[in-house]
Amino acid sequence: MSEQPVRVGIVGAGANTRARHIPGFRAIDGVTITGVCNRTPESTKRVAREFQIPQQYADWKELIAADDVDAVMIGTWPNMHCEITCAALEAGKHVLTEARMARNLDEAKQMLAASEAHADRVAQIVPSPYGLTCGPFVEQLIGDMFIGELRELVVLGADDVFWDYSIPLHWRQDREISGLNVLAMGILHETALRWAPPPTRVFAQSKTFEPQRPNLQTSEYSDVTVPDSVQIVTELKGGGRGMYHMSGVALFGPGKQIHLYGSRGTIKVEFEPEERVFVGHNADATLKPVEIPEEQCGRWRVEEEFIGAIRGQESVSLTSFADGVQYMQFVEGVARSSEQGAPVSLPIA
């Protein structure tokens, strides 16, 4: 029995779309990529030629209106996610949008409302890749009460990616494009939500240590409008506590990690250069690395899940629009707390 054909249009063919999404779709039987629209006609032409995509569009609105497009992959920067998502759903298309979901909570809520108004369409966000490999194993440990009751959550995302002020302004440092998203905060928080209860309160501070960068578009210096250092303390549902350290200016920083400290034991996950899990109980002298059994290893299957949901073979688990709104609640709360110098309760109405 042949699979239901699905025709995909690409809006925004950046590095992740070219490296993961386009090859991912092309590997699925019955899926074809029928059209593409990138930022410029020149880049659209290059992508179409590279991946043999038959139709090129000068405007994303033309792509989502096309009769030979069933689903839209949105690979643009966050500033366009809300507008394109809502328009695509209104046009009767399924939507897979790149993370982060939106620039702020209001846009995320608009996207969720649009998806609920068109419940016959699949709406999915590209999930945080952190924890996809070790996630099933860690979830099994937590479910088996390996750590007991969670007491403390520590989330680290501190490196030197923006330490050198001579490096040109990145779009992630432009609030107009990236919104309230800061560094890897949202993407690591999404992973943390898979393993720990959601926060009910956040108290944050932030700082921009390198306030200006060369701008390649203007050949002048431009202001950095997204913080390059954030510290957050949280209260978790159920009484636990959390601590986040996000930085792009931490020379020799710890990188990306999540620690779960419980009443019986500890789980520490390091994400770079590859995912490694360390565990320990009170009788152990130190944390010990563990080898994840093959049957408990997860993998990247974003495009498979999206197409499977369109075909009615499965439901979206990573990541739904409701889940996206939940992590955008955190992002919004951190921004408000930092601006106000006061704790913020979650969820925000």
The domain in which residue 241 lies consists of: 135-294
Give pLDDT, residue 282. Answer: 87
Mean pLDDT of 180-209: 98
- Residues 10, 99 within the same domain: yes
* Over residues 127-132, mean pLDDT: 98
Quote the pLDDT of residue 283.
87
- Domain-located, residue 343: no
Q: What confidence category does residue 217 fall into, taking pLDDT thresholds of 50, 70 and 90?
A: confident
- 105 with 25, same domain: the answer is yes
Average pLDDT over residues 313-338: 98
pLDDT at 187 over 50: yes
- For residue 1, what pLDDT band results from cuts at 50, 70 and 90? very low
- The yes-or-no verdict on residue 89 having pLDDT over 60 is yes
Alpha helices by DSSP H, the chain: 15-16, 22-26, 41-51, 60-65, 81-90, 105-117, 135-143, 175-178, 185-195, 302-310, 321-340
**Residue 158 pLDDT > 50:** yes
CATH classification at residue 228: 3.30.360.10
| C-alpha 230 chain-centroid distance | 18
Do 92 and 161 belong to one domain? Answer: no
CA distance 167 to 250: 15
How many C-alpha atoms does 35 have within 13 Å on its Cβ side? 22
* 124 and 154 both lie in a single domain: no
Q: Do residues 145 and 117 share a domain?
A: no
Is residue 340 included in any domain, yes or no?
Answer: no
Rounded CA separation 349/347 (Å):
6
pLDDT, position 2: 61
Task: Let me know if residue 328 belongs to a domain.
Answer: no
- pLDDT tens by residue, 8-40: 999 999 999 999 999 999 999 999 999 999 999
pLDDT, residue 3, reads 87
What's the start-to-end Cα distance of the chain, in Å?
48
- pTM confidence score: 0.96
pLDDT for 184 beyond 80: yes
Q: Are residues 76 and 178 in the same domain?
A: no
